Amino acid sequence: DVTEAAKHDRAVAAMANELRQLIDTANAPIFGIDVNGNVNEWNNKTAEITGFSKEEAFDKPLVSTFIVPNLRESVQDILDNALNGIESSNYELEFRTKSNEIRYLLVNATTRRDAENNIVGVVGVAQDVTEAAKHDRAVAAMANELRQLIDTANAPIFGIDVNGNVN
């Protein structure tokens, strides 16, 4: 019956609209590519983090445009795997922002399929871990600096454990 079909179509359209709104307004960066690696999903949070609007990002090759050069090959491998149905979770990538800063994102790459179950792209849901990554790098740099100071000091520096043994 035509009335039932129209009712079903309206329900599907409403659900699609609700999902679109959920993606656009999510508090996590969400971005996606088509089978050619070009951006076809770029939510508000991704735009906020990167400084690139949805319009600026759409149809651009994700890897060569937004990923730092030294990670392009590994990120491309992750995306190629997802385009073959092999999904990845919790991999860290570095996005280059419009202002040429680096944002560290922890990403899950999920295969995107159409109604006939054909692979049509990849969607990435991410967590911005930039501040934690910067902190970790600063702590590591400080530890390295202290190790160098101890190794090159002009005075004897040694440690003693709880039993009085030099370590």
Angstrom distance (rounded) from CA 26 to CA 12 = 21
Q: Provide the residue type at 33 as one letter.
A: I
pLDDT per residue over 99-125, tens digit each? 999 999 999 999 999 989 999 999 999
Given a cut of 60, whether residue 138 has pLDDT beyond it is yes
Given a contact cutoff of 8 angstroms between Cβ atoms, the answer to whether 51 and 97 are in contact is yes
Regarding predicted confidence, which is higher, 22 or 7? 7
Instruction: Give the SS3 label for residue 155.
Output: coil
For 76-90, how does the pLDDT look when each residue is reduced to its tens digit (9 = 90+)? 999 999 999 999 988
HSE (side-chain half, CA atoms, 13 Å) at 108: 6
pLDDT for residue 17 is more than 60: yes
Element (H, E) at 142: helix 130-152
Q: Flag whether the pTM goes above 0.75.
A: no
Distance CA 82, CA 88 (A): 7
46: which 2 tokens?
Answer: 């991704």
Give, in order, the Cα–Cα distances in Å from 146 to each of 100, 128, 137, 161, 167. Answer: 31, 29, 14, 19, 17
Tell me the two tokens of residue 55: 């319009």
